[in-house]
A and B are shown apart, each in its own frame.
Chain A
Amino acid sequence: MASDAHGADEGGLVFHPMDQFIVKPLFGGDTVAWYTPTNMTLWLGFAILAVIAILVLSTSKRAIVPGRGQSIAELAYGFIYKMVEDICGKEGVKFFPYIMTLFMFIVCANFLGMIPTAFTPTSHFAVTAVLALMVFITVTVLGFVKNGTAFLGLFWVSSAPLALRPVLAIIELISYFVRPVSHSIRLAGNVMAGHAVIKVFAGFAAIAVISPVSVLAITAMYGLEVLVSFIQAYVFTILTCVYLKDALHPSH
């Protein structure tokens, strides 16, 4: 954006940090209809293959003493299972496949996005917003189905002084509806920002004097992004669990 104009001023430098996020039809053509296979479709497909490789192919031997691949699959399973059980309790366990799907999809999409020239589906608000809205709608519907109107007790802080409760109720209500927004923008924003920053540093590498610094900076950012890839998937998943807990046990 700003760097676009900046690059144009300097003449030699060309910055297109956001071009990597453009959704393009995979087999030529200009229009992107709802069914057109795009570069996003390709990388979503790679994410599916990665999930299958990590969780299905690696466990095909069903070894009692696990190998490397199976250890990773078991680790992922145990990690999310424990998270769901710890936060949501025993009733939350039936949502485990759903939460595991979210986690594995985000982790695989994030890490595949770290491959140079790759496309990162989780950097798009459309994608993360759908993920977050699915959680939001699930939690809201589940909350009312399971608790009836008692679910509204979530907004009525009974431990606060009576005079404060209406005010708190409004704040709670706003924060409840802001959840899907923050939930989705946190993930897409982090991923997008990291990728864009790497691209900006890469643009500077065109100047010979700065290029060593640029390469170092790209390396450092890449390391940070690897961390962010995992941490954001973790954060998204744990927040999903926390929201789900609200639906299952709405009392404060």
Chain B
Amino acid sequence: MATQTQDASHGAADAAHAAADSAPGMPQLAFETFPNQIFWLLVTLVVIYLVLSRVALPRIGAILAERQGTITNDLAAAEDLKAKAVEAEEAYNKALADARAEAQRIAAETRAEIQVGLDEAIAKADAEIAAKAAESEKAIAEIRAGALESIQAVATDTAGELVTALGGKADAKAVAGAVQTRMKG
């Protein structure tokens, strides 16, 4: 097809295409240039291959590996720091719990001490109160006894006086016996 059109254009515009006519319709099919193209292509490919395999690819690979290493290291460091933070938090919590327990222990001890003192004081106070009460009771008994005697005397006197006032003759002995009998009930 290429050569056909080539012929056509030959006929149509000979002069105008004189330069282009030296090449076929498709320069891609100008076989006399093939050795040249292939030679320079192979040179190019060999040069690019050497540049890539000797310099570029190892370098880029090293850069990527180095970056990967850095990232991995940084991640490991971050992990470490995180673990440390968790540890620190645990230690803090432990210290807090310890302190709380200590405080509770101290409070309980103090409470027990106070209780002991309190008990002692209460016992002492009880004993004192008991002693005082006994004393008071004794005094009251004395007073009561004293009062009974006085009442008997007053009653005997009053009865004697009444008997006298009513015109009788007060027999002190009889009056005393009668009062005594009355008071016994």
Contacts and interface: CB of A to CB of B under 8 A. Distances in A.
Interface of A: 1-2, 4-5, 8-9, 14, 16, 18-19, 21-23, 30, 32-38, 40-41, 44-45, 47-48, 51-52, 55-56, 59, 62-64, 66, 70, 73-74, 77-78, 96-98, 100-101, 104-105, 121, 123-127, 130-131, 188, 192
A40 B37 contact: yes
Interface in B1-31: 1-2, 5-6, 8-9, 12-13, 16-17, 20, 22-23, 25-30
Q: Which 8 A-B pairs have the closest CB atoms?
A: A55-B56, A34-B35, A1-B5, A21-B27, A97-B53, A8-B12, A4-B9, A44-B44
B57 A77 contact: yes
Given A32-B36, A59-B63, A48 B48 contact: yes
A126 B37 contact: yes
B47 interface: yes
Contacts of B132: none
Nearest to B63: A62
Contact of A5 (B12, B33, B47): B12
B154 interface: no
A19 B30 CA distance: 12
Contacts of B23: 22
A1 B25 contact: yes
B66 A64 contact: yes
23 contacts: A4-B5, A4-B9, A5-B12, A9-B12, A14-B16, A18-B25, A18-B27, A21-B28, A34-B35, A38-B33, A38-B36, A44-B41, A55-B52, A55-B57, A56-B51, A56-B56, A59-B59, A62-B66, A74-B64, A77-B61, A124-B27, A127-B41, A130-B42
B64 A8 contact: no
Interface string B56-88: 110111111011001000000000000000000
Given A14-B16, A33-B36, A38-B36, A74 B28 contact: no
Given A18-B26, A121-B41, A192-B28, A35 B36 contact: yes
B166 interface: no
Contacts of B48: 47-48, 51, 101, 104-105
B93 to A, nearest CB: 39
Given A5-B5, A97-B57, A130 B41 contact: yes
Nearest to A66: B63
Nearest to A38: B36
A244 to B, nearest CB: 16
B60 to A, nearest CB: 5
Contacts of A97: 49, 52-53, 57
Given A5-B8, A126-B38, A52 B51 contact: yes
B45 interface: yes
Contact of A126 (B34, B44, B52, B57): B34
Contacts of A16: 20
Contacts of B5: 1-2, 4-5
B17 A4 contact: yes
A56 B36 CA distance: 28
Contacts of A40: 36-37, 40
Contacts of A126: 28, 33-34, 37-38, 41
